[in-house]
């Protein structure tokens, strides 16, 4: 199996920590990153990974400096894993602009800035993997999860556009969105709940707390198993052997059920409104220019 070098964000726990432990155990080289890395990632030093302090919400120039530092550690980076994130709970009316901005800074601007930092290196080499650890919440909105869903929807759109840009001009660079259902990590135990501001939404906030406790205590999916399969996908082994890798791959029966349910509803809606949708088309021969490739 070909050894690779990985840069992973959000390694203090959860998927990030699992990536570090599984990859180093396989002999891959890993740059494990996180905020306050000297203390928060100290438990990963015994893995042999390079520990790098990296706040994904830092300005672009700082992100580029950190990426170069990671690259120089081993002379290359083969796979960038954008994993850092958290869940901010609260109804849209109660979420402040500042809270929403923090979610976007971490889960939209952070991955995009790191992608910008990686692309010049990957373009020069002609290859590289760009992984985005996303969620079913990037396709299905959830009550009480406005900030999280909005940020996850946003990165899906950005990466889909990126995938078409790369397919056109740099096909050796592969973006991949991992759409995860609920797996056995600490994320559900570390939810950030909005400060109650509107009494009307108190029942929703309490329901979110009850649901998160249940998801944490009885998760339907195994996080180590999922991380193992994501690694196989990048390496083209195991579950990925002989298969073409799409832009998005869901993990978890709960995720798949939610997504298929939404797709069915969308198909029904679009079919019912097909005549209205088509009614605004230009007459034949007066249509605008074709779109760009992709």
Q: Which of 132, 148, 216, 270 is catalytic?
A: 148
112/130 Cα distance (integer angstroms): 10
3-state secondary structure of 125: helix
5/101 Cα distance (integer angstroms): 32
- Torsion angles phi and psi, residue 179, rounded to 5: -100, 105
11 within 8 A of 34, measured Cβ to Cβ: yes
Report the 3 state secondary structure along 79-132.
EEEECCCCCEEECCCCCCHHHHHHHHHHHHHHHHHHHHHHHHHHHHHCCEEEEE
14 within 8 A of 223, measured Cβ to Cβ: yes
Residues 6+ apart with CB under 8 A from 118: 7, 67, 77, 80, 128, 130
56 within 8 A of 9, measured Cβ to Cβ: yes
Q: Which two tokens stand for residue 181?
A: 């259902």
Work out the angle at residue 136's Cα, subtended by the Cα atoms of residues 149 and 24, and round it to the nearest 5 degrees: 110
132 is catalytic: no
Residues 6+ apart with CB under 8 A from 286: none
18/224 Cα distance (integer angstroms): 6
Query: Which residues are designated catalytic?
Result: 148
């Amino acid at each position: 199996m070909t050894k690779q070098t990985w840069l992973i964000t959000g390694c203090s726990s959860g998927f990030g920590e699992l990536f570090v432990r599984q990859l180093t155990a396989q002999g891959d080289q890993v740059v494990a990153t996180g905020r306050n890395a000297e203390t928060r990632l100290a438990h990963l030093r015994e893995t042999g990974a390079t520990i790098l302090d990296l706040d994904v919400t830092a300005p672009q120039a700082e992100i580029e400096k950190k990426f170069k530092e990671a690259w120089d550690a081993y002379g290359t980076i083969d796979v960038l894993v954008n994993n850092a994130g958290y869940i901010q709970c609260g109804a849209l009316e109660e979420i402040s602009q500042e809270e929403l901005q923090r979610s976007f800074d971490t889960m939209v601007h952070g991955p995009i800035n790191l992608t910008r930092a990686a692309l010049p290196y990957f373009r020069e080499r002609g290859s590289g993997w760009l992984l985005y650890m996303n969620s079913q919440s990037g396709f299905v909105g959830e009550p009480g999860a406005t900030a999280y869903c909005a940020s996850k929807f946003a990165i899906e759109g950005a990466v889909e556009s990126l995938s078409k840009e790369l397919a056109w001009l740099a096909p050796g660079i592969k973006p991949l969105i991992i759409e995860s259902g609920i797996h056995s990590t600490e994320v559900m135990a570390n939810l950030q709940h909005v400060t109650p501001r509107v009494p009307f939404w108190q029942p929703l906030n309490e329901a979110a707390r009850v649901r998160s406790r249940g998801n944490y205590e009885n998760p339907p999916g195994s996080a180590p198993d999922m991380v193992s399969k994501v690694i196989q996908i990048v390496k083209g082994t195991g579950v990925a052997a002989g298969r073409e890798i799409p832009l998005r791959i869901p993990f978890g029966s709960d995720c798949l059920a939610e997504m298929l349910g939404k797709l069915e509803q969308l198909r029904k809606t679009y079919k019912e409104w097909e005549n209205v949708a088509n009614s605004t088309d230009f007459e034949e021969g007066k249509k605008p220019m074709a779109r760009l490739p992709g």
